[in-house]
Amino acid sequence: MKKILPIAVSSFCSALLAVLLFNYFQKPKTIFIDKSDGSAIYANYGESEPFSGIQQRTFLSSAPTDFIAAAEKVTSSVVNIRAMESSSYGWWGGNSHGASSGSGVIISPDGYIVTNNHVIEDGNKYQVTMGDHREYDAKLVATDPFTDIALLKIEEHNLPSLTFGNSDSLRVGEWVLAVGNPFNLESTVTAGIVSAKGRSIDILEGEYTIESFIQTDAAVNPGNSGGALVNTNGELVGINTAIITRSGKYEGYSFAIPSTLVQKIIRDLRDYGEVKRGLLGVKIGPVDDRIAHELRLPAVEGVYINSVTTDGGAEDAGLQSEDVIVGINGVKIRAIPELQEQVGRLHPGAVIKVEYIREGRRYSANVTLKDKDMASKIVVKSDDDSLLGMMGFTLRELSADERRKMRVSGVYVENIKVGSVIEKTEMDPGYIITKVGEVKVSSVQEVLNELKKKRGSEVYLEGFYENYPGEYYYTFMVK
């Protein structure tokens, strides 16, 4: 008996020590249970909660896949936009027909809506339908074809609007939602990841185009243009604009304008009626392997300066042709779209730090941006100039000889801007305006006064061409 007792005590102590050591080193773990009804649950057990019941777990890696809160936050702020074209005035009156349809995003409670220029460019009357089916007539504030952005306004208050997020913080692989309101189907939400940033797909035309798209694989189809690209927090990080497709349908490549660029564009459109662009004053090209080798670049990246503009900001700061820009304000520049986006956010007068490589050595310079007229500050046009500019034509009074020769008073149309409201009426330069509506006019100021009275509504012009018989009438919407 005396021999058995020590052995039993020793065995008990060994067993107890083994259990204690096992519990110390073995952490609580998750058990997957496959229920007979086909559903799946997660159960936990440990010292503090032994079989205390089922507890739903949300793991960090799965958190971005829960888009419910973001979708609920966004859908009421995305609207359908219908652009209608009103035909020119004639003896039998005018009429309207549908021109195009797309989506838009409410960006302020007082009714400002951002969309793509290509959604509204073929119309002169605009109808906005909310997610709750309320309908409004919208006024076109201004457009910027170079970035494919347009700004509309409806007369309403306390509207649900989206908060701008920082598109710079987006990372490749991050989850995003594309939200549109196509064909009055109410809001449609799709999900995907950021596939790339700073993409150029050569769809915009003009000297000042900026293409630095966010590429995603979120499904975007016709009718979703102008809709919202948001992060999982429901913040606006882009405006969905284009897809690349051979079939005409979505094939996995969609592109959005970054929100940081959109903010600058719409502020300018609201405040000035046009975009005030700060320009570096350089003509640029891509860097290829040959250029990188010849200029002793550390990598095949950056933006090559072909030439500098006389009296431009770059020339003033000492930049030269064959320099390669590799940074703007501390942001690395690998390609042209990144440079365009960084500079495109700024106004004339902004001073930026440009990092560049010359003959294998790295330098930096402070460059003051200028506008296309070489002014280093924002030049605000008068309301009269702005209105005529938005309409798209240049006017002058008839000379005394012209009035005597034609025996008429009126206003001469000298020039018409391509793609403008006036150009879409098919008016030609040389048209002589004699009436705005029912009011006779004989000076540019009289034309302006009548157009101001008609802002937000339709107006028709009556007039003639010197070498063509008869009267001609043109109808358009005054912005």
Beta strands in 406-447 (DSSP E): 411-416, 431-436, 439-440
d(CA 142, CA 155): 16
Please state the separation of Cα 230 from the chain's center in Å: 12
Nearest CA among 437, 454, 448, 447 for reference residue 383: 448
CB within 8 Å of 240: residues ≥ 6 apart = 103, 178, 180, 220, 224, 225, 226, 227, 228, 229, 254, 255, 256
Please give the Cα distance from 194 to 192 (Å, whole number): 7
Q: Residue type at 128?
A: V
Please say if 148 is a catalytic residue: yes
Q: Which of 144, 148, 268, 323 is catalytic?
A: 148
Q: Tell me how far apart the alpha carbons of residues 70 and 73 are, in angstroms, rounded to a whole number.
A: 5
Query: Letter for the amino acid at 478?
Result: V
225 annotated active-site: yes
Residue 71 and residue 229: Cα distance in Å, rounded?
Answer: 11
Helices (H), 37-129: 68-74, 117-120
Active-site option among 86, 103, 118, 167: 118
Residues 446 and 434: their CA atoms lie apart, in Å, by: 11
Using only the alpha carbons of the chain, give its radius of gyration.
Answer: 32
Dihedral of CA 263/268/270/273: which sign? negative
Catalytic residue among 100, 225, 254, 259: 225
State yes or no: is 36 an active-site residue: no
* Burial class for 51, CB neighbours closer than 10 Å (0-12, 13-18, 19+): exposed
Tell the burial category of 92 from Cβ atoms under 10 Å away from its Cβ (0-12, 13-18, 19+).
exposed
Helices 383-391 and 444-453: crossing angle in degrees, nearest 10, is 80
Residue 16 and residue 34: Cα distance in Å, rounded? 34
Active site positions, annotated: 118, 148, 225
